[in-house]
Amino acid sequence: MKLKIVSLMENFEFDGLEAVNIPGEKGNYTILPHHIDYTALVCPGILTCRGADKGVTDMAVDEGVLVKKGDDVFISCRNAVKGVSGDQITALKAVVHEKFEVIDEAEKKTREMISRMESSFVRRFLEMK
């Protein structure tokens, strides 16, 4: 299989993969060769690629969309960070928590504030009539 990850900062390509483990809404799931074509949402977490040579690459990915077609897997996400050798899983989990999940919490608070402002505007507009 081929995997292409496109993010705002950097693009990654992997070829000759036997399996790709992806963080999803209902937990992690694995795509194997000859898997049915489909699309899915990707959640912030650790993505793992296993090559035919049994080499494993771990990446931290932010939320995005996955498209699987034939032997090609495409992922478009906000941000992706490739793991470095050594204690990469722990470091990548820290990246996911600090950079991706914390931003999501700030985004939620911003959306709540905007929603309150919009409802306040509508309420005052209706009071003017």
pLDDT tens, position by position, 50-74:
988 878 888 888 888 999 999 999 9
Query: Residue 9: its pLDDT value, please?
Result: 85
Q: Residues with Cβ < 8 Å from 45, sequence gap 6 or more?
A: 23, 28, 60, 61, 96
Residue 45 confidence (pLDDT) above 60: yes
Half-sphere exposure of 72 (CA within 13 A, CB side): 6
Q: Could you tell me the domains of the chain?
A: 2-128 (2.60.15.10)
pLDDT tens, position by position, 92-116:
777 777 777 666 677 778 878 888 8
Query: Residue 101: its pLDDT value, please?
Result: 66
Q: What span, in angstroms and rounded, lies between the C-alpha atoms of 1 and 74?
A: 11
Provide the whole-model pTM: 0.70
Residue 18 confidence (pLDDT) above 90: yes
What mean pLDDT comes out for the span 28-39?
92
Query: Residue 68: its pLDDT value, please?
Result: 93
